[in-house]
Amino acid sequence: MDKQNIDKLTEMFFNSFTNKNGMKPNVRGLHQLFIPNGIIIKTCGVKPEIYNLEQFIEPREKLLNDGLLIDFKEEEVSETTEIFGNIAHRFSLYQKSGLLSGVSFETKGMKTIQFIKKEDGWKISAVAWDDEREGLQIPEKYLAIHER
């Protein structure tokens, strides 16, 4: 049951950003998925960008609702989840696509998601990600999981 709950929580996390086919993103809903002091880290550049929930939500809410990023969808392609007692870790291969300022893009990357089990169920405590780019490719072992 724990794995199924973590699967659902992860799916809700990825769906929070979707505005493809007229869907309304629910970035504010991240507050329900995370512990209050959760952190989110983007490591796609030279220097990691570390956000608390509100610092992460505000610019993405604007980006996804003001027409700058449209037809956006991000989804988990494959995952490995480990659970021990009240802690869990998930390593996810994801893909995302959309139109940013009128330019179409499609990429994939890896996310690490950490969870804790509280009295009201599983919550996300931290997320970090990096996107595939020149010089950084998804390792074959993660792609092979997807091809099974």
Domain layout of the chain by residue ranges: 2-147
Cα(148)–Cα(5) distance, integer angstroms:
23
Tell me the pTM.
Answer: 0.92
Paired tokens of 15:
């769906």
Residue 49, SS3?
strand
E strand or H helix at 57: helix 53-65
| Fold of domain 2-147 | Nuclear Transport Factor 2; Chain: A, (3.10.450)
pLDDT, averaged in runs of 10, over the chain (148 residues) = 98 96 93 97 94 96 94 95 98 96 96 97 98 91 66
Q: Angle at CA 139, nearest 5°, toward 136 and 141?
A: 175
**Cβ pair 109, 45 in contact under 8 A:** no
Give the per-residue pLDDT at 148.
Answer: 41
Give the per-residue pLDDT at 136.
Answer: 92
What is the length of the chain? 148
E strand or H helix at 148: none
